[in-house]
């Protein structure tokens, strides 16, 4: 595939182009990944439960392999993620007797975890998603009701950012979330980050996950979120972009390939979305897809088990889809 232009090279004057990966992908399609992407994120292998499965045991093999691959290929790495309510083992929140950990105990574990993980990759990870998905979606509450919040109170965010900054002063530190274009959630995220900045937190950016679909959110809603976040003078990273061919509530399982109509909508949306990102390239410094090609995506099983999805700009054979060429034209 020598004649196929490199995706990240096409956007070299605009922003990094990233992909979420795992060690299996690096081993089987490493050349393809290095050709088209100049940033990578571990899809799961740096999450708390994977990299720190037991109090006294860290499992760095996969993370090391991902970082080594990036270093060898001159790519950036986004670290994902230090503090989250999901994929974090129960032991973190328990005391030795099996009860709930005290504030002191959980704070000391937070510090050990951040010191050790951020310290391990110091100088090699350019941006960390320090806190992921801390905002509540469904009710009027601002903060999501998690063990972190219950035991530490709202200050856990400030603490996590301070610890991460101390462990690697060069790394850019991000707050990352989804449904970021919903007007209500957008304002909660804005206020949270504004408050952290006012308290002097070392926070440098907002991660917009970008788990969108071919029907929505609207370009105007995405634009309003970008403008609102950018008004805080922080960097914006699109951290987990995918355009599902299904609406969120669509539960159909009959398709073995996408319809022509789905593909056309996807092409159009990819082009519009990237044109929008380019308008805000002074703020948006990185755009990461939550996968590399339609060969594999977490959406293959989510939210409908066993259902295939086709959310990217490369097909199942890792060949450019029409969307890819539309992006190259827009660049
Ligand atoms: C997802 C992974 O893609 C899946 O493989 C895993 O089973 C669950 O987590 N928001 C995030 C990501 O911040 O970490 C999630 O990744 C997708 C939603």
Query: What residue's CA is closest to ligand 1, atom 3?
Result: 298
From the CB of 132, is ligand 1 less than 6 Å away?
A: yes
pLDDT range class, residue 41, cuts 50, 70, 90: very high
From the CB of 43, is ligand 1 less than 6 Å away?
A: yes
Q: In this model, does residue 150 exceed pLDDT 60?
A: yes
Instruction: Mark whether 133 is an active-site residue.
Output: yes
Catalytic residue among 43, 159, 240, 267: 240
Catalytic residue among 133, 159, 180, 267: 133
From the CB of 44, is ligand 1 less than 6 Å away?
A: yes
pLDDT range class, residue 3, cuts 50, 70, 90: confident
Give CA–CA dist 131/328, Å, rounded.
Answer: 33
Question: 43 CA distance to ligand 1 centroid (A)?
Answer: 7
The pLDDT value recorded for residue 201 is 98
Each as own residue / partner, the long-range contacts of residues 97-106 (CB below 8 Å, 24 or more positions apart, any chain) are: 100/151, 101/151, 102/151, 103/151, 103/152, 103/153, 106/148, 106/151, 106/152
What percent of the chain is predicted at pLDDT more than 70?
99
Each as own residue / partner, the long-range contacts of residues 143-150 (CB below 8 Å, 24 or more positions apart, any chain) are: 144/85, 146/85, 147/85, 147/88, 147/92, 147/93, 148/83, 148/85, 148/106
The answer to which of 60-64, 235-239, 304-308 has the lowest mean pLDDT is 304-308
Structural contact between residues 243 and 214, judged by C-beta atoms closer than 8 angstroms: yes
| Site to substitute for ligand 1 among 43, 49, 134, most atoms within 8 A of C-beta | 43
Instruction: Mark whether 240 is an active-site residue.
Output: yes
The pLDDT value recorded for residue 2 is 57
CA 32 distance to own-chain centroid: 21
Q: In this model, does residue 26 exceed pLDDT 80?
A: yes
| Site to substitute for ligand 1 among 50, 137, 238, 290, most atoms within 8 A of C-beta | 290
For helices 183-198 and 219-230, angle between their N-to-C axes, nearest 10 degrees: 10
* Most distant pair of Cα atoms in the chain: their distance: 62
Query: In sequence order, what are the residues at sequence separation of 6 or more whose Cβ sits closer than 8 angstroms to the Cβ of residue 296?
Result: 25
DSSP type of residue 164: H
pLDDT digits (tens, 9 = 90+) for 107-148: 999 999 999 999 999 999 999 999 999 999 989 999 999 999
Residue 57, φ and ψ in degrees, nearest 5: -130, 125
CA-CA-CA-CA dihedral for 100, 102, 105, 108, to nearest 10: 120
Question: 198 CA distance to ligand 1 centroid (A)?
Answer: 30
| Site to substitute for ligand 1 among 42, 44, 242, most atoms within 8 A of C-beta | 44
pTM for this predicted structure = 0.98
From the CB of 298, is ligand 1 less than 6 Å away?
A: yes
Q: In this model, does residue 286 exceed pLDDT 60?
A: yes
What percent of the chain is predicted at pLDDT more than 90?
97
pLDDT digits (tens, 9 = 90+) for 53-94: 999 999 999 999 999 999 999 999 999 999 999 999 999 999
Strand partners, 40: 19, 77
Q: In this model, does residue 238 exceed pLDDT 60?
A: yes
Q: If phi over 0 gives left and psi between -120 and 50 gives alpha, with beta otherwise, what is residue 98?
A: left
pLDDT range class, residue 243, cuts 50, 70, 90: very high
């Amino acid at each position: 595939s020598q004649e196929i232009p490199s995706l990240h090279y096409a956007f070299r004057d605009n922003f990094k182009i990233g992909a979420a990966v795992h060690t299996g992908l690096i081993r089987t399609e490493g050349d393809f990944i290095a050709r088209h992407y100049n940033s990578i994120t571990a899809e799961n292998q740096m999450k708390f439960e994977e990299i720190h499965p037991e109090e006294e045991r860290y499992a760095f093999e996969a993370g090391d392999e991902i970082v080594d691959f990036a270093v060898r290929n001159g790519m950036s790495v986004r670290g994902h993620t230090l503090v989250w309510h999901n994929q974090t083992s129960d032991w973190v929140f328990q005391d030795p007797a099996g009860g709930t950990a005290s504030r002191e105990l959980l704070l000391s574990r937070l510090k050990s975890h951040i010191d050790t993980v951020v310290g391990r990759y110091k100088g090699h990870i350019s941006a960390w998603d320090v806190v992921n998905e801390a905002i509540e979606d469904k009710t009027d509450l601002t903060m999501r009701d998690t063990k972190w919040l219950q035991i530490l109170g709202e200050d856990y965010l400030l603490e996590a950012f301070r610890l991460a900054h101390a462990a690697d002063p060069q790394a850019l530190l991000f707050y990352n979330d989804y449904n970021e274009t919903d007007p209500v959630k957008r304002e909660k995220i804005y206020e949270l980050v504004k408050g952290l900045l006012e308290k002097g937190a070392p926070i440098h950016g907002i991660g917009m996950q970008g788990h969108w679909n071919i029907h929505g959110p609207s370009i105007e809603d995405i634009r309003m979120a970008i403008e609102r976040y950018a008004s805080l003078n922080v960097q914006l990273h699109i951290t987990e972009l995918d355009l599902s061919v299904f609406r969120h509530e669509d539960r159909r399982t009959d398709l073995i390939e996408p319809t022509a109509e789905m593909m056309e909508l996807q092409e159009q949306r990819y082009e519009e979305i990237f044109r929008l990102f380019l308008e805000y390239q002074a703020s948006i410094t990185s755009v990461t897809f939550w996968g590399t090609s339609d060969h594999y995506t977490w959406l293959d099983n989510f939210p409908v088990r066993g259902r295939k999805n086709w959310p990217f700009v490369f097909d199942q054979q890792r060949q450019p889809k029409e969307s890819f060429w539309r992006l190259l034209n827009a660049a």
